[in-house]
Amino acid sequence: MTADFSRLSLNQITTQRWSLRQAIEGCARHGIPAIGIWRDKLQEAGLAPAARWVREAGLRVSTLCRGGWFLAPTPAERQARLDDNRRAIDEAAELNADALVLVCGPGFDRDIQKARAMIEEAIAAIAPYARERRVKLGIEPLHPMVAADRSAVVTLAQALNMAQRYDADLVGVTVDTFNIWWDPELYPQIARAAGRIHSYQVSDWPVPLPDTFMGRAMMGDGVIELRRIRSAVEGAGYTGYIEVEIMNRAIWDLPGEEALRLMKERYLAHV
């Protein structure tokens, strides 16, 4: 039996030192059928060339990372963020991405409840355009340790509460093992997410954790029950790509070829 990589996707931040073109070519060389693209890398490459490279390589784009980051102190700044989200929706449409990931961003003062209400308003403001462009939005709950600096959305239950006001094929969630593995409500909430899981991302949680952002580990090097969570996600009907997204200096310092080999090996062994 040959190894099955038909569900594997490389989130390109895992090979952060590669350009988008290098990451696309790496996926093609390694038989990885999909890629998660970051907007900063997309901007360097240009949208039209990027879309052409992806097509020519026969890849699918599992996610565009990322929209969101909605909040700012002034109405003008918030409007600029909404405009930027509409550009992200255009890019996701052009790339035919399975989902635009929404990292909703932090508040700008101590009132986290107000921040959450403003995030809901912002999603309501961009959802009609996403529907028009046929782009699925995946609200990503981040880990509560970054509630103050990256996302006021921190649990799957909360993300689902926000998503359920919309059709399931328009607004759903991005399930990332690193962010949600600790949650006592994890399995009931994954079940509740049926039909709304627009992206599934994996990495591992090392002990001790070296950093709140750069501390992610390769699958197998941490404590997350990756197989149990995948099984629950698939039990909720998810049939999309499984994207490996790792921010980790040591992995970034590997030659890209080696990072992909390691990722494939660990994917088979642990995911």
For position 145 contacting its own copies by CB under 8 A, the verdict is yes
94 vs 183, which CB is nearer to its own copies?
183
Could you give the angle at the alpha carbon of 260 between the alpha carbons of 30 and 41, nearest 5°? 95
CB of 207 to its own copies, least distance (A): 5
CB of 154 to its own copies, least distance (A): 6
For position 147 contacting its own copies by CB under 8 A, the verdict is yes
Distances (CA, A) of 136 to 4, 139, 235: 27, 10, 21
For position 112 contacting its own copies by CB under 8 A, the verdict is yes
CB of 152 to its own copies, least distance (A): 8
Rounded Cα distance, 38 and 42, in Å: 6
Tell me which of 224, 244, 246, 254 binds its own copies, using CB under 8 A.
224
Chain centroid offset of residue 157 CA: 17
Three-state SS at 9:
strand
For position 181 contacting its own copies by CB under 8 A, the verdict is yes
For position 158 contacting its own copies by CB under 8 A, the verdict is yes
For position 155 contacting its own copies by CB under 8 A, the verdict is yes
Tell me which of 57, 182, 192, 234 binds its own copies, using CB under 8 A.
182
Whether omega for the bond prior to residue 208 falls within 30 degrees of 0, making it cis, is yes
Which segments of 140-229 are extended strands (E)?
171-176, 197-202
For position 247 contacting its own copies by CB under 8 A, the verdict is no
84 vs 206, which CB is nearer to its own copies?
206
Tell me which of 3, 223, 268, 269 binds its own copies, using CB under 8 A.
223
Q: Which of residues 28-87 bind its own copies (CB under 8 A)?
A: none
Tokens in use for 78? 């918030």
Task: Give the interface size with its own copies as a residue count (CB under 8 A).
Answer: 28
CB of 224 to its own copies, least distance (A): 7
Burial (CB count within 10 angstroms: exposed 0-12, middle 13-18, buried 19+), residue 168: middle
Tell me which of 3, 117, 124, 148 binds its own copies, using CB under 8 A.
148
Contact yes or no for 207/27 (Cβ under 8 A): no
Tell me which of 91, 98, 183, 243 binds its own copies, using CB under 8 A.
183
- Which of 206, 204, 199 lies closest to 218, judged by CA? 204
The piece of 3-11, 50-58, 206-214, 248-256 that touches its own copies (CB under 8 A) is 206-214
Rounded Cα distance, 146 and 149, in Å: 5
Burial (CB count within 10 angstroms: exposed 0-12, middle 13-18, buried 19+), residue 64: buried
Tell me which of 132, 149, 169, 258 binds its own copies, using CB under 8 A.
149
For position 164 contacting its own copies by CB under 8 A, the verdict is no
Three-state SS at 178:
helix
Interacting residues toward its own copies by CB under 8 A: 110-112, 116, 143-145, 147-149, 154-155, 157-158, 181-185, 205, 207-209, 212, 222-225
